[in-house]
Amino acid sequence: ANLRNALFYKGSLAFGDGDDRAALDALNEAEKLIDAKLADYTFGCDFYVLRSRLHSRMKNFDRALADANKIVGYDNALCPRAYEPRGD
């Protein structure tokens, strides 16, 4: 879990810095370390929201939707949606 969390943090920092490729690489590596049966709720929520937002920003809309759909069953109050409102 420590390596998974470190990769997620690396991906989050890269996302914030606008380095989409580095963010995607780190997040994809982190996903390999998720045990679906044991993954904690908070990590799964945060992970898929961030990666969906990243895919959306990269205009990979099919992948963004796929990640967003992985959190559909989560409680809306506790897990924000991956999409962001647009003004156009």
How far apart CA 14 and CA 38 sit, in angstroms, is: 26
Instruction: State which amino acid sits at residue 58.
Output: M
Residue 59 has pLDDT above 90, yes or no: yes
How far apart CA 56 and CA 59 sit, in angstroms, is: 5
pLDDT of residue 73: 65
Spatial CA neighbour of 15 closest among 30, 2, 32, 3: 30
pTM (predicted TM-score): 0.81
pLDDT in tens, 27-58: 999 999 887 655 566 788 888 889 999 999 99
